[in-house]
Amino acid sequence: VAFEPEKIVKTTPMPDDFDAFWRKARAAAAAIPLDAKCEKNEKCKLKDHDEYRVSFAAPNGRRVYGYFRRPKDASVRAPLRVQVPGAGLGFWSMWPPSPKKGEAQLFMTVFPWEPWGDSGAQQNKYKAMLDGYREKYGCEMYFLAGLPDGLESGFYYPVILGIDRAVTWASQQEGVDPDKVFYYGISQGGGFGLYLTYINPLIKRAVVNVPAFADMHSFKVGHQTTVSKHLYRCSDAKMLEIMRERAPYFDTANFAAKITKPIRFVTGQQDWVCPPHTVFAAYNACGSSDKDLFYTGGDHNSAVDEADGRSEKFLSELKFR
Protein backbone atom coordinates (compact mmCIF):
# COMPACT_ATOMS: atom_id res chain seq x y z
CA VAL A 1 0.00 0.00 0.00
CA ALA A 2 1.36 3.41 -0.95
CA PHE A 3 0.34 6.52 0.96
CA GLU A 4 1.37 10.09 0.19
CA PRO A 5 0.15 12.35 3.00
CA GLU A 6 1.52 15.45 1.30
CA LYS A 7 -1.25 15.01 -1.29
CA ILE A 8 -4.08 15.09 1.24
CA VAL A 9 -6.37 18.04 0.54
CA LYS A 10 -8.96 19.50 2.84
CA THR A 11 -12.59 18.71 2.06
CA THR A 12 -14.03 21.68 3.93
CA PRO A 13 -14.84 24.52 1.51
CA MET A 14 -13.47 27.99 1.99
CA PRO A 15 -16.36 30.48 2.39
CA ASP A 16 -16.21 33.24 -0.21
CA ASP A 17 -16.49 35.89 2.48
CA PHE A 18 -14.09 34.23 4.97
CA ASP A 19 -11.59 37.10 5.10
CA ALA A 20 -14.32 39.74 5.07
CA PHE A 21 -16.21 37.96 7.85
CA TRP A 22 -13.24 37.85 10.23
CA ARG A 23 -12.05 41.33 9.27
CA LYS A 24 -15.49 42.70 10.12
CA ALA A 25 -15.64 40.62 13.31
CA ARG A 26 -12.30 41.95 14.50
CA ALA A 27 -13.34 45.54 13.78
CA ALA A 28 -16.61 45.05 15.66
CA ALA A 29 -14.76 43.59 18.65
CA ALA A 30 -12.31 46.51 18.66
CA ALA A 31 -15.25 48.89 19.10
CA ILE A 32 -16.09 47.27 22.45
CA PRO A 33 -14.31 48.86 25.45
CA LEU A 34 -11.52 46.46 26.46
CA ASP A 35 -12.29 46.78 30.19
CA ALA A 36 -9.01 45.05 31.05
CA LYS A 37 -8.78 43.65 34.58
CA CYS A 38 -5.28 42.87 35.81
CA GLU A 39 -4.65 41.77 39.40
CA LYS A 40 -1.24 40.75 40.66
CA ASN A 41 -1.18 37.39 42.42
CA GLU A 42 0.74 38.20 45.57
CA LYS A 43 0.79 34.52 46.55
CA CYS A 44 2.57 33.47 43.37
CA LYS A 45 5.65 31.38 44.16
CA LEU A 46 7.35 31.61 40.79
CA LYS A 47 11.03 32.40 41.22
CA ASP A 48 11.64 34.50 38.12
CA HIS A 49 8.17 35.76 37.16
CA ASP A 50 5.39 37.96 38.47
CA GLU A 51 1.91 36.58 37.83
CA TYR A 52 -1.27 38.51 37.09
CA ARG A 53 -4.85 37.29 36.76
CA VAL A 54 -6.38 39.01 33.77
CA SER A 55 -9.70 39.27 31.98
CA PHE A 56 -11.02 41.26 29.02
CA ALA A 57 -14.35 42.15 27.48
CA ALA A 58 -15.35 40.17 24.39
CA PRO A 59 -18.31 40.25 21.98
CA ASN A 60 -21.75 38.97 23.00
CA GLY A 61 -21.31 40.25 26.54
CA ARG A 62 -18.65 37.62 27.21
CA ARG A 63 -15.32 37.96 28.99
CA VAL A 64 -12.17 35.96 28.48
CA TYR A 65 -9.95 34.99 31.42
CA GLY A 66 -6.39 33.95 31.92
CA TYR A 67 -2.95 34.59 33.35
CA PHE A 68 -0.21 36.98 32.34
CA ARG A 69 3.32 36.36 33.58
CA ARG A 70 6.43 38.38 32.94
CA PRO A 71 10.01 38.27 34.23
CA LYS A 72 10.51 40.12 37.50
CA ASP A 73 13.20 42.16 35.83
CA ALA A 74 11.09 44.20 33.42
CA SER A 75 14.03 46.34 32.29
CA VAL A 76 14.80 43.82 29.53
CA ARG A 77 11.91 43.26 27.14
CA ALA A 78 11.08 39.57 26.86
CA PRO A 79 9.51 37.52 24.07
CA LEU A 80 5.84 36.74 24.67
CA ARG A 81 4.61 33.15 24.47
CA VAL A 82 0.83 32.94 23.89
CA GLN A 83 -0.99 29.76 24.91
CA VAL A 84 -4.56 28.43 25.00
CA PRO A 85 -5.18 25.06 26.71
CA GLY A 86 -6.55 21.82 25.34
CA ALA A 87 -10.28 21.12 25.33
CA GLY A 88 -12.36 20.06 28.30
CA LEU A 89 -12.04 20.99 31.96
CA GLY A 90 -9.08 19.87 34.02
CA PHE A 91 -5.86 21.06 35.59
CA TRP A 92 -4.54 21.85 32.10
CA SER A 93 -7.37 24.33 31.48
CA MET A 94 -7.21 26.04 34.88
CA TRP A 95 -3.48 26.39 35.50
CA PRO A 96 -0.82 27.44 33.00
CA PRO A 97 2.39 25.43 32.59
CA SER A 98 5.55 26.84 34.10
CA PRO A 99 6.81 29.82 32.12
CA LYS A 100 10.12 29.58 30.31
CA LYS A 101 12.97 31.56 31.82
CA GLY A 102 13.43 34.83 29.97
CA GLU A 103 9.94 34.73 28.43
CA ALA A 104 6.68 36.45 29.23
CA GLN A 105 3.58 34.26 29.04
CA LEU A 106 -0.08 34.85 28.24
CA PHE A 107 -2.29 31.84 29.02
CA MET A 108 -5.95 32.35 28.13
CA THR A 109 -8.82 29.92 28.76
CA VAL A 110 -11.95 29.50 26.63
CA PHE A 111 -14.67 29.31 29.31
CA PRO A 112 -16.74 32.32 30.44
CA TRP A 113 -15.57 32.23 34.05
CA GLU A 114 -12.40 32.67 36.07
CA PRO A 115 -10.10 29.64 35.85
CA TRP A 116 -8.65 30.11 39.32
CA GLY A 117 -10.41 28.98 42.48
CA ASP A 118 -12.11 25.84 43.75
CA SER A 119 -12.00 22.93 41.31
CA GLY A 120 -15.40 21.67 42.50
CA ALA A 121 -17.01 25.00 41.59
CA GLN A 122 -15.27 24.80 38.20
CA GLN A 123 -16.77 21.38 37.57
CA ASN A 124 -20.25 22.61 38.52
CA LYS A 125 -20.01 25.53 36.10
CA TYR A 126 -18.73 23.28 33.34
CA LYS A 127 -21.51 20.74 33.85
CA ALA A 128 -24.16 23.47 33.90
CA MET A 129 -22.80 24.91 30.66
CA LEU A 130 -22.85 21.53 28.89
CA ASP A 131 -26.33 20.74 30.24
CA GLY A 132 -27.56 24.05 28.82
CA TYR A 133 -26.09 23.36 25.39
CA ARG A 134 -27.48 19.84 25.40
CA GLU A 135 -30.95 21.14 26.20
CA LYS A 136 -30.88 24.03 23.71
CA TYR A 137 -28.96 22.54 20.78
CA GLY A 138 -28.85 18.81 21.46
CA CYS A 139 -25.04 18.84 21.36
CA GLU A 140 -22.86 17.01 23.85
CA MET A 141 -19.92 19.43 23.78
CA TYR A 142 -19.39 23.16 23.46
CA PHE A 143 -17.33 23.22 20.24
CA LEU A 144 -20.13 24.05 17.78
CA ALA A 145 -22.73 25.21 20.30
CA GLY A 146 -24.48 28.43 19.37
CA LEU A 147 -23.94 28.14 15.63
CA PRO A 148 -27.63 27.35 14.93
CA ASP A 149 -28.36 30.89 16.16
CA GLY A 150 -25.85 32.45 13.75
CA LEU A 151 -22.13 32.60 13.05
CA GLU A 152 -21.64 35.35 15.62
CA SER A 153 -23.39 33.21 18.24
CA GLY A 154 -20.95 30.31 17.97
CA PHE A 155 -19.18 29.40 21.20
CA TYR A 156 -15.73 30.20 19.84
CA TYR A 157 -16.65 33.46 18.11
CA PRO A 158 -16.28 35.78 21.16
CA VAL A 159 -13.44 33.66 22.53
CA ILE A 160 -11.27 34.01 19.43
CA LEU A 161 -11.89 37.75 19.30
CA GLY A 162 -11.48 38.25 23.04
CA ILE A 163 -8.16 36.41 23.17
CA ASP A 164 -7.03 38.29 20.07
CA ARG A 165 -7.49 41.50 22.07
CA ALA A 166 -5.69 39.95 25.06
CA VAL A 167 -2.66 39.22 22.85
CA THR A 168 -2.51 42.84 21.74
CA TRP A 169 -2.84 44.04 25.35
CA ALA A 170 -0.10 41.72 26.61
CA SER A 171 2.27 42.81 23.84
CA GLN A 172 1.98 46.39 25.12
CA GLN A 173 2.90 45.65 28.73
CA GLU A 174 6.12 46.68 30.41
CA GLY A 175 8.82 44.09 30.00
CA VAL A 176 7.38 42.60 26.79
CA ASP A 177 8.91 42.93 23.34
CA PRO A 178 5.99 43.54 20.94
CA ASP A 179 8.16 42.41 18.03
CA LYS A 180 8.69 38.98 19.58
CA VAL A 181 5.24 37.49 20.05
CA PHE A 182 4.75 33.81 19.25
CA TYR A 183 2.26 31.01 19.84
CA TYR A 184 2.50 27.48 21.24
CA GLY A 185 -0.54 25.25 21.82
CA ILE A 186 -1.81 21.68 21.92
CA SER A 187 -5.08 20.17 20.57
CA GLN A 188 -7.77 22.82 21.11
CA GLY A 189 -4.80 25.07 21.87
CA GLY A 190 -3.21 24.02 18.59
CA GLY A 191 -6.41 24.99 16.80
CA PHE A 192 -6.32 28.38 18.50
CA GLY A 193 -2.79 28.81 17.23
CA LEU A 194 -4.21 28.75 13.71
CA TYR A 195 -7.07 31.08 14.65
CA LEU A 196 -4.83 33.65 16.32
CA THR A 197 -1.85 33.47 13.97
CA TYR A 198 -4.19 34.33 11.12
CA ILE A 199 -6.20 37.00 12.89
CA ASN A 200 -3.52 38.85 14.90
CA PRO A 201 -0.60 40.40 12.98
CA LEU A 202 1.50 40.65 16.15
CA ILE A 203 2.03 36.88 16.27
CA LYS A 204 5.19 36.31 14.26
CA ARG A 205 5.48 32.50 14.42
CA ALA A 206 3.66 29.49 15.84
CA VAL A 207 3.86 25.85 16.83
CA VAL A 208 0.51 24.11 16.55
CA ASN A 209 0.62 20.68 18.16
CA VAL A 210 -2.02 18.12 17.06
CA PRO A 211 -4.40 21.00 16.17
CA ALA A 212 -8.11 20.36 16.56
CA PHE A 213 -11.02 21.35 14.29
CA ALA A 214 -9.17 20.84 11.02
CA ASP A 215 -11.12 19.70 7.96
CA MET A 216 -14.44 19.34 9.76
CA HIS A 217 -16.19 18.22 6.56
CA SER A 218 -13.98 15.14 6.15
CA PHE A 219 -16.95 12.99 7.16
CA LYS A 220 -18.40 13.69 3.70
CA VAL A 221 -15.74 11.51 2.12
CA GLY A 222 -15.90 8.81 4.77
CA HIS A 223 -12.92 9.96 6.81
CA GLN A 224 -12.79 10.19 10.58
CA THR A 225 -13.30 13.76 11.70
CA THR A 226 -11.24 15.74 14.15
CA VAL A 227 -12.30 15.12 17.79
CA SER A 228 -14.76 12.62 16.32
CA LYS A 229 -15.88 11.39 19.74
CA HIS A 230 -17.48 14.77 20.46
CA LEU A 231 -17.56 17.09 17.45
CA TYR A 232 -20.86 16.04 15.87
CA ARG A 233 -22.54 14.30 18.80
CA CYS A 234 -25.92 15.98 18.56
CA SER A 235 -29.39 14.56 19.16
CA ASP A 236 -31.14 17.20 17.05
CA ALA A 237 -30.74 16.45 13.34
CA LYS A 238 -31.78 19.94 12.23
CA MET A 239 -29.37 21.62 14.63
CA LEU A 240 -26.60 19.28 13.52
CA GLU A 241 -27.13 20.12 9.87
CA ILE A 242 -26.82 23.84 10.60
CA MET A 243 -23.69 23.33 12.69
CA ARG A 244 -22.03 21.39 9.89
CA GLU A 245 -23.05 24.01 7.34
CA ARG A 246 -21.51 26.84 9.36
CA ALA A 247 -18.44 24.94 10.61
CA PRO A 248 -16.19 26.10 7.69
CA TYR A 249 -15.97 29.58 9.25
CA PHE A 250 -14.29 27.96 12.28
CA ASP A 251 -12.40 25.19 10.48
CA THR A 252 -8.73 25.51 11.37
CA ALA A 253 -7.67 24.17 7.96
CA ASN A 254 -9.27 27.25 6.41
CA PHE A 255 -7.36 29.48 8.83
CA ALA A 256 -4.15 27.59 7.99
CA ALA A 257 -4.72 28.30 4.30
CA LYS A 258 -4.50 32.02 5.06
CA ILE A 259 -1.31 31.90 7.13
CA THR A 260 1.97 33.06 5.59
CA LYS A 261 4.06 33.34 8.78
CA PRO A 262 6.69 30.78 9.88
CA ILE A 263 4.85 27.84 11.43
CA ARG A 264 5.40 24.27 12.58
CA PHE A 265 2.72 21.59 12.83
CA VAL A 266 2.93 18.44 14.96
CA THR A 267 0.94 15.26 14.42
CA GLY A 268 1.12 11.66 15.64
CA GLN A 269 0.68 8.51 13.62
CA GLN A 270 -1.50 7.00 16.37
CA ASP A 271 -3.51 10.10 17.22
CA TRP A 272 -7.21 9.15 17.17
CA VAL A 273 -8.35 12.47 18.70
CA CYS A 274 -7.01 14.74 15.97
CA PRO A 275 -6.11 12.16 13.29
CA PRO A 276 -3.01 12.83 11.18
CA HIS A 277 -5.01 13.12 7.95
CA THR A 278 -6.84 16.15 9.43
CA VAL A 279 -3.55 17.79 10.45
CA PHE A 280 -2.02 17.05 7.05
CA ALA A 281 -5.09 18.69 5.45
CA ALA A 282 -4.34 21.87 7.39
CA TYR A 283 -0.59 21.68 6.83
CA ASN A 284 -0.88 21.06 3.10
CA ALA A 285 -3.33 23.96 2.79
CA CYS A 286 -1.08 26.33 4.76
CA GLY A 287 0.14 29.22 2.64
CA SER A 288 3.43 29.78 4.48
CA SER A 289 6.71 29.35 2.60
CA ASP A 290 8.37 28.64 5.96
CA LYS A 291 6.45 25.65 7.31
CA ASP A 292 7.20 22.14 8.44
CA LEU A 293 5.31 19.21 9.93
CA PHE A 294 6.87 17.09 12.67
CA TYR A 295 5.32 13.68 12.06
CA THR A 296 5.87 11.29 14.98
CA GLY A 297 4.75 7.78 15.82
CA GLY A 298 2.94 8.93 18.94
CA ASP A 299 -0.67 9.38 19.98
CA HIS A 300 -2.49 12.59 20.87
CA ASN A 301 -0.33 13.18 23.94
CA SER A 302 3.00 11.49 23.23
CA ALA A 303 3.29 13.06 19.76
CA VAL A 304 3.78 16.44 21.40
CA ASP A 305 6.50 15.15 23.72
CA GLU A 306 8.28 13.40 20.84
CA ALA A 307 8.39 16.60 18.79
CA ASP A 308 8.94 19.12 21.57
CA GLY A 309 12.70 19.37 21.17
CA ARG A 310 12.31 20.32 17.51
CA SER A 311 9.45 22.67 18.32
CA GLU A 312 11.39 24.55 20.98
CA LYS A 313 14.45 24.70 18.74
CA PHE A 314 12.31 26.33 16.06
CA LEU A 315 10.94 28.85 18.56
CA SER A 316 14.37 29.71 19.95
CA GLU A 317 16.30 29.95 16.70
CA LEU A 318 13.92 31.53 14.23
CA LYS A 319 14.59 35.18 13.59
CA PHE A 320 11.55 37.36 14.23
CA ARG A 321 10.24 39.09 11.15
Q: What is the pTM of this model?
A: 0.96
pLDDT at residue 1, as a whole number = 44
At 230, the pLDDT band (50, 70, 90 cuts) reads very high
CB atoms within 10 A of CB 45: 6
User: In this predicted model, what pLDDT tens digit does every residue of 111-146 receive, in sequence order?
Assistant: 999 999 888 999 999 999 999 999 999 999 999 999
pLDDT at residue 317, as a whole number = 75
User: In this predicted model, what pLDDT tens digit does every residue of 64-93 receive, in sequence order?
Assistant: 999 999 999 988 899 999 999 999 999 999
pLDDT at residue 3, as a whole number = 75
Q: Is the pLDDT of residue 264 over 70?
A: yes
Q: Annotate 186-246 with DSSP letters as a single string.
A: ETHHHHHHHHHHHH-TTEEEEEEES-SS-STTGGGGTPPPTTTTTTT-BS-HHHHHHHHHH
pLDDT at residue 146, as a whole number = 97
Rounded CA separation 193/203 (Å):
9
pLDDT at residue 319, as a whole number = 58
Is 215 within 8 Å of 209 (Cβ atoms)? no
